[in-house]
Amino acid sequence: MKENDVIVIGGGFSGLMAAAVAAKRGKKVTVLSLGAGTLSIASGNVDVLGYDKNGKPVANPKAGLSSVAADHPYNKIGQKSLEEAVQFFLELTKEEGYAYKGSLDQQQWIPTAAGTLKPTCLVPMTMDTSALKNASKAYIIGFESLKDFYPHLVAKNLRNMPGYDQEYEMLMVDPKLPAGRDVTNLDIARWLDSAEGRKAFVAQLRATIKPGSVAVIAPVLGTAPSHAVRDELEQALNCKFVESVVVPPGITGHRLRIMMLNHVKKLGVKVVEHAVVTRGIVENGQCTAVVTEAIDRERTYQAKSFILASGGFYGGGLVAEPGQAIEPVFNLPIAAPTTQEDWSNFQMFSNEAQPFEKIGIAVDETMRPVDADGKVLLNNVFIAGRNLCGYDFCFEKSGNGVAMASGYKAAMSV
Amino acid sequence: MSKHHNDINPDSCTACTSCISHCPVTAATRKFRGPKMMGPALERMRLSQDDVEPSLEYCSNCKNCDMACPSGVPISTLNMKARAQYFKTRKQSMRDEMLGHGEKMGKLISALPAGAFFANLGMQVGKAFGIMNAIGISDKLPLTYAGTSFIKQFKELKQTSYPDKVVFYPGCFINYQDPQVGMDFVAVMQANKYEVIVEEDFVCCGSPLLVTGYLEECEQNAKKNTAIMKKWTDKGIPVITCCTSCGLMLKQEYQELFEIDGLAENAKMLYDATEFLVNLDEKGRLNKEFGAIEHRYMYHAPCHLRVQGYGLPALDLLEMIPGLTIENADAGCCGISGNYGFKADKYDIAMTVGAKLFETIKESGVDTAVCDCGTCRLQITHGAGVKAVHPMSLLRQAYEAKK
């Protein structure tokens, strides 16, 4: 059972992408995962490159690649692998019945719950804005008691955005949820998962919504990676829905995670939950096994290759300590400014990236970790995702793009 | 001292909402304010004052929050500690008194001649007269006592002696409700040339006591069990459970909750039966003389197994049996979570939580489910209308099919 071709450490987007690619290549794969990760609470969009290093919007992600710094992960992954990764992912989503839309040649600007626009590259079909852009008038649908999506705020700001300056009409739906804790988008999505929720939703809107119209809505059209809820509601109301980006819990990220898990399990990948990987067993630059530590004892997992997709500071793949940042599994060298005071740009909202975001592991073009001189440190360990150095995903909007492409490249290198 | 130890820092929580998104009780009812609020958020208040949040009673201690947390916060244990604190100054209901002390009832019944017969009859009568519901125990889920307890059956059994020995911790459910699982385990170990030792002095692991707020009694049980186990683990003899909730309690929750000598040392030698057998296989020591079982099954992984972080060894074992097909239902919590689903006012929530699993099993068309947890098996039979067996029972069947 513990004999594997590939062990992926981490069950986030980069880890699951790597697992899918390796399994498709016929490898026996086990994922050691800890927590549900950022993936399940985030937006589920695949941002590739939204802004260049000066903070200027990038119109075409592919063209923008030439502007990134030399040590940026995209320069290790290469354009060809990035293109293949996009292709692989789009096919995967189609196969799973929850297709994504987009291409490296076209930035997509999609509405957020604040009524601003966010640049991204690949979005689930439920976030496709083409119908909205072509409409002269659109609805914005909110829910009574939902604090994370205010139609008035969305409309007020969205009106000022290029391409979104149409007329908006606000509609409120009352899910009449029983009293209790604060209502989140997840609660609404669960309500619409139920037949009675969908029935009540349609009943409240039927008289108001004009046939053939478009409506912006929070990502509440069901919790599953499926278009069933959207299709049923669109058909019943003869209205096209466009889901927006919201604060966590972002349902679209939850759907993406479930879809990726469903997909890798179908490919025979084993996923071990709640596995805390604490160290690797390395002999002569070759990793033979990784060790998990539970409260009872350690357990050893052997494989021919390892993909370290353990996340950044949030996911525990990198740990910040006084004076240094460490990578806890293999104790790989971390490229970080030597003085800790230089880790942060104290002007939080300035037009510059945060140095701490760029802290991470340096790799070669096969995604193997390298030292400061570029020498490969581990022959059969490949790095993917947020623990890579050289990019500020938040500033440049490239998080899932780097995760997807580095996961792909790592799995092609094993 | 383990880094998981009871010095829990609620500030490790970054309030990311992952636990709320993955809490099955939160998904089933709006009355529960969710694990983040109950656990780390309120813990900060509790550190300075006696803060009571009524919706705490909704936590089922299923541990899906712990599994979802990216920061390693044992959220459910914070909840259970808070519950114990709540009951320090208040008295539990008769319902909780009964549900927390299932072992007392089991002991009493197995000591009486035809005790199980009358107890089961009593439950029927109790149900007919609405007594169960009146004290707050759901009468919808059938809980029956076995005619002869595991301990009694085991004493009658003649084992072949082998130099390799293991100690079996049966736990209340196997001892009083489902002794066949224990007997099947012994048969499987014998087929692998192990002699099984059972200690009559073992007491309830304390899991039902913990969730009903009897933390001090739970600690007493922990001390007793720890001392008995240590006697064997000191000699290098492993202790094995066939109940994943007992296993979780003995290995992990004891360490999270109490400071008792020997906890960490025992935990190193504590195994769930399926993991123990998979390890035997890795050492080339597993008897693989399995006869065929031409049958298709659906497997349900108990939450209290998943949270232990070593995967699903039952699947690895059962896949070795020729002819046997097993699929992982992968449909989340069954809802019962120990004694949670037995509470009359939580019954509907438990059934809502388990709905996806019941549907998955029903849709698959299998006539039998496989699961390592006793109360999960009850809930599966109740909710999906199919038989549910322990992996040990299928392994025994496969060994016997070869003979």
Is the CB of B31 less than 8 angstroms away from the CB of A273? no
Helix, strand, coil share of chain A (percent; to 5): 30, 25, 45
Average pLDDT over residues A300-306: 97
pLDDT band at B121 (very low <50, low <70, confident <90, very high): confident
In what helix (H) or strand (E) does residue A196 lie, and over which residues does it extend? helix A195-205
pLDDT band at A37 (very low <50, low <70, confident <90, very high): confident
The answer to whether the beta carbons of residues B304 and B245 sit under 8 Å apart is yes
pLDDT for residue B51? 65
Q: What is the pLDDT of residues A344-384, one digit of tens each?
A: 988 877 888 899 999 999 999 999 999 999 999 999 999 99
Residue B4 has pLDDT above 50, yes or no: no
The answer to whether the beta carbons of residues B182 and B211 sit under 8 Å apart is no
3-state secondary structure of A123: strand
Is B70 near chain A, with CB under 8 Å? yes
Highest-confidence segment of B4-13, B119-128, B318-327, B340-349: B318-327
CB nearest to B18's CB, from A40, A179, A316: A40
pLDDT band at B47 (very low <50, low <70, confident <90, very high): low
Q: Look up residue B208 and give its amino acid.
A: P
Give B-chain residues touching A272 at CB under 8 angstroms.
309-311
Is the CB of A177 less than 8 angstroms away from the CB of B30? yes
Is the CB of A184 less than 8 angstroms away from the CB of B316? no
C-alpha B4/C-alpha B251 separation (Å) is 12
Choose, out of B4, B5, B6, B17, the residue to mutate when testing the contact with A (most A CBs < 10 Å): B17
Q: Which residues contact A199 (CB under 8 A, 6 or more apart)?
A: none
C-alpha A131/C-alpha A242 separation (Å) is 8
DSSP A40: T
Is the CB of A180 less than 8 angstroms away from the CB of B29? yes
Assigned token pair, B12: 């490790």
Give A-chain residues touching B282 at CB under 8 angstroms.
1-2
pLDDT band at A24 (very low <50, low <70, confident <90, very high): very high
Burial of B201 (0-12, 13-18, 19+ CB in 10 A): exposed
How distant, in Å, are the alpha carbons of A377, A379, B1 from that of A286?
Answer: 9, 6, 31
The answer to whether the beta carbons of residues B137 and B343 sit under 8 Å apart is yes
CB nearest to A315's CB, from B22, B70, B256: B70
Give B-chain residues touching A316 at CB under 8 angstroms.
70-72
Is the CB of A295 less than 8 angstroms away from the CB of B316? no
Residue B260 phi/psi, 5-degree rounding, is: -130, 135
C-alpha B313/C-alpha B286 separation (Å) is 14
3-state secondary structure of A288: strand
Residue B5 has pLDDT above 60, yes or no: no
3-state secondary structure of A379: coil
Choose, out of A184, A188, A274, the residue to mutate when testing the contact with B (most B CBs < 10 Å): A274
Is the CB of B72 less than 8 angstroms away from the CB of A41? no
Is the CB of B306 less than 8 angstroms away from the CB of A273? yes
Is the CB of A180 less than 8 angstroms away from the CB of B69? no
Is B313 near chain A, with CB under 8 Å? yes
pLDDT band at B29 (very low <50, low <70, confident <90, very high): very high
Nearest one of A83, A128, A86 to A108, comparing CA atoms = A128
Nearest one of A262, A383, A277, A180 to B33, comparing CA atoms = A180
Give B-chain residues touching A270 at CB under 8 angstroms.
311
Give A-chain residues touching B270 at CB under 8 angstroms.
296
How distant, in Å, are the alpha carbons of A400, B72, B305 from that of A271?
Answer: 21, 18, 14
Give B-chain residues touching A275 at CB under 8 angstroms.
309-311
The answer to whether the beta carbons of residues A384 and A307 sit under 8 Å apart is yes
DSSP A285: T
Residue A286: CA atoms inside 13 Å, Cβ hemisphere, count?
6
Q: Which residues contact B285 (CB under 8 A, 6 or more apart)?
A: B192
Q: What is the pLDDT of residues B167-209, one digit of tens each?
A: 999 999 999 999 999 999 999 999 999 999 999 999 999 999 9
The answer to whether the beta carbons of residues B154 and B174 sit under 8 Å apart is no
pLDDT for residue B122? 78
C-alpha A68/C-alpha B319 separation (Å) is 49
Is the CB of A1 less than 8 angstroms away from the CB of B70? no
Average pLDDT, chain A: 95
Is the CB of A35 less than 8 angstroms away from the CB of B69? yes
Q: Which residues contact B110 (CB under 8 A, 6 or more apart)?
A: B116, B145, B148, B149, B151, B152, B175, B176
Is the CB of A276 less than 8 angstroms away from the CB of B72? yes
Is the CB of B268 less than 8 angstroms away from the CB of A316? no
Residue A206 phi/psi, 5-degree rounding, is: -55, -45
Q: Note the pTM of the prediction, 2 decimals.
A: 0.95
Q: Taking a contact as any Cβ pair under 8 Å apart, which residues of chain B between 244 and 303 contact chain A?
A: 251-252, 255-256, 267-268, 270, 278, 281-282
CB nearest to B311's CB, from A187, A272, A297: A272
Choose, out of B7, B14, B18, B348, the residue to mutate when testing the contact with A (most A CBs < 10 Å): B18
HEC sequence for chain B: CCCCCCCCCHHHCCCCCHHHHHCHHHHHCCCCCCHHHHHHHHHHHHCCCCCCCHHHHHCCCCCHHHHHCCCCCCHHHHHHHHHHHHHHCCCCCHHHHHHHCHHHHHHHHHHCCCHHHHHHHHHHHHHHCCHHHHHCECCCCCCCCCCCCHHHHHHHCCCCCCCCEEEEECHHHHHHHCHHHHHHHHHHHHHCCCEEEECCCCCCCCHHHHHCCCHHHHHHHHHHHHHHHHHHHCCCCCEEECCHHHHHHHHHHHHHHCCCCCHHHHHHCEEEHHHHHHHHHHCCCCCCCCCCCCEEEEEECCHHHHCCCCCCHHHHHHCCCCCEEEEECCCCCCCCCCCHHHECCCHHHHHHHHHHHHHHHHHHCCCEEEECCHHHHHHHHHHHCCEEECHHHHHHHHHHHHC
Is the CB of A40 less than 8 angstroms away from the CB of B256? no
Is the CB of B309 less than 8 angstroms away from the CB of A275? yes
pLDDT for residue B163? 98
DSSP A147: S
In what helix (H) or strand (E) does residue A292 lie, and over which residues does it extend? strand A286-293
C-alpha B170/C-alpha B153 separation (Å) is 12
CA distance B117 to chain A (A): 40
Nearest one of A117, A163, A141 to A214, comparing CA atoms = A141
Average pLDDT over residues A281-301: 96
Give A-chain residues touching B33 at CB under 8 angstroms.
180-181
Average pLDDT over residues B30-56: 80
Is the CB of B14 less than 8 angstroms away from the CB of A314? yes
C-alpha B362/C-alpha B298 separation (Å) is 10
Residue A1 has pLDDT above 50, yes or no: no
CB nearest to B16's CB, from A41, A186, A254: A41
Contacts 24+ apart (CB under 8 A), B260-263: B260/B219, B260/B222, B260/B223, B260/B226, B261/B226, B261/B230, B262/B226, B262/B227, B262/B229, B262/B230, B262/B233, B263/B226
Is the CB of B70 less than 8 angstroms away from the CB of A275? no
- Tokens 């080339």 correspond to what residue? B284
CA distance A167 to chain B (A): 35
pLDDT for residue B2? 37
Q: What value of ipTM does the predicted structure carry? A: 0.93
Residue A3 has pLDDT above 80, yes or no: no
pLDDT for residue B49? 64
C-alpha B381/C-alpha B375 separation (Å) is 10
